[in-house]
Amino acid sequence: MVCTVVVGGFWGDEGKGKIVSYLALRDKVKIGVRGGVGPNAGHTVQYQGETLRLRMLPSALVNPKTRLLLGAGVLVNPARFLEEVEAFKVKGRVGLDPNCAIIEPKHLEADRSEHFSGKIGTTGTGTGPCNSDRVQRKAKTAREIPELQEFLSDVASEVNEALDEGENVLVEGTQGTFLSLYHGTYPYVTSKDVTASAICSDVGLGPTRVDEVLIVFKAYVTRVGQGPLPGELSQEEAERRGWAEVATVTGRRRRAAPFNLELARKAVMLNGATQAAITKLDVLYPECRGADSYEKLPEEAKAFVRKIEEALGIPVTILGTGPEALQIVDLTKRKA
């Protein structure tokens, strides 16, 4: 039995979706459960030639045997949720907690003006206004929404019982450490805490139940919306290096900066991380593309990984070498 929590180490978009989908396949995960904020998260998963763009469902869905759950802390946009259930044909294996709060059209409307002209530059998906109504005890919950009735489940019990029975559970965080309402670059943050402890609380898991906290870093740092980004490159330089990404949810340009060891160390501390993944190594070192073993990596890439590992004081167990779920160098055994 292993309970693994996966979190982002920077400002989101580290490639958590890819790592989670790989782990769901590798570890024959019984339950993939999402914590985090809501449909402001965009996870891109590539598997068997298909590209899945997820905003509500756990990225563990690539494993057809995995049950997919949304914890009580997650905000649900019912239309978006139902659309994904339909598109990915997962109706029989999805559940959400009756206490999930509901994003309504008024929340979208309020957030859209913030997105276009506000000082934070939110994703415009209604999550901030919905969380605000939630803390004022005014938000609706999933139990009040007729279309969601068939999906309701006591998620905390399902997850804890699966662990009691010795199954593997994957707890999927969203956003990244420095978007945390408490520990991030306030006020340029999302509308709740998104560090590992908060992700567990979203799901109804106590801290003693967690075995591993896997923190995901990208080989460089990106950030969308406003707020500080140490070492930020000009757009031209980001493009020259191939780091100029476009945001999945909003289509905005992601700002970019080189990997930041100091921030990474702080993120490891804030999350109590026990291991790290580094994604997009192939963007930094194109010779890595598709490599499936450490030996196949160029010396430069190995040195980069070693330097990070030494600075963080935890093992780097997974390296991403391409966009596909299985384009991975898995160092877990080496570390064991």
Which residues contact ligand IMP (rule: CB under 6 A)? 11-13, 37, 40-42, 120-123, 125, 127-128, 174-175, 179, 188, 190-191, 224-225
Three-state secondary structure call for residue 176? coil
Query: What are the residues binding Mg ion (CB under 5 A)?
Result: 13, 42, 248
Residue partners of 8: CB distance under 8 A and separation at least 6? 14, 16, 173, 174, 175, 176, 177, 179, 194, 215, 216
Q: Which is closer to Mg ion, CB of 13 or CB of 167?
A: 13
The entry of Mg ion, ligand IMP, none that residue 179 binds, CB within 5 to 8 Å by partner kind: ligand IMP
> Residue 218: which H helix or E strand, with range?
strand 212-218
Q: CB of 100 within 8 A of CB of 75?
A: yes
Catalytic residue (choose from 13, 111, 193, 202): 13
- Residue 174 CB, nearest distance to Mg ion (Å)? 8
Question: Are 299 and 260 contacting, i.e. CB atoms less than 8 angstroms apart?
Answer: no
Residue 40 binds which entry of ligand IMP, Mg ion, none, CB below 5-8 Å type-dependent: ligand IMP
Cα separation, 55 vs 78, in Å, equals 12
Q: Which is nearer to ligand IMP, 127 or 197 (CB)?
A: 127
Specify whether the CB–CB gap between 207 and 160 falls below 8 A. no
Distance of CA 60 to the CA centre of its chain: 11
Taking the complex as a whole, how short is the minimal distance between the CB of residue 23 and ligand IMP, in angstroms?
Answer: 19
Output the smallest distance, CB 132 to ligand IMP, in A: 10
Per the DSSP assignment, residues forming a β-bridge with 68 are 32, 94
Among residues 181, 203, 185, 202, the alpha carbon closest in space to that of 193 is found at: 181
Catalytic-labelled residue, pool 27, 43, 115, 330: 43
The most distant pair of C-alpha atoms in the chain lies apart, rounded to whole Å, by 57
Q: Which does 129 bind (CB under 5 to 8 A by kind): ligand IMP, Mg ion, none?
A: none
The phi, psi pair for 131, rounded to 5°, reads -65, -35
Q: How far is the CB of 11 from ligand IMP (least distance, A)?
A: 6
Distance CA 198, CA 4 (A): 14
Q: Which is nearer to ligand IMP, 179 or 325 (CB)?
A: 179
Q: Closest CB to Mg ion among 139 and 221?
A: 221
CA distance 138 to 142: 13
Closest separation in Å from C-beta 10 to ligand IMP? 9
Distance CA 127, CA 157 (A): 26
Which partner from the list Mg ion, ligand IMP, none does 95 bind, CB cut-off 5 to 8 Å by kind?
A: none
- CB count within 10 Å of CB 190 equals 27
CB of 122 or CB of 275, closer to ligand IMP:
122
The site partner of 283 among ligand IMP, Mg ion, none (C-beta below 5 to 8 Å per kind) is none
Place of tokens 């006591």: 154
Q: Which residue is closest to ligand IMP by CB?
A: 225
Residue 101 interacts with which of Mg ion, ligand IMP, none, CB < 5 to 8 Å by class? none
Q: Between 175 and 274, name the residue whose CB sits nearer to ligand IMP.
A: 175
Query: 3-class DSSP state for residue 169?
Result: strand
Cβ 19 to Mg ion shortest distance, Å: 12
- Is 13 considered catalytic here? yes
Active site residue 115: no
DSSP summary character for residue 293:
S
Residue positions annotated with a catalytic role = 13, 43
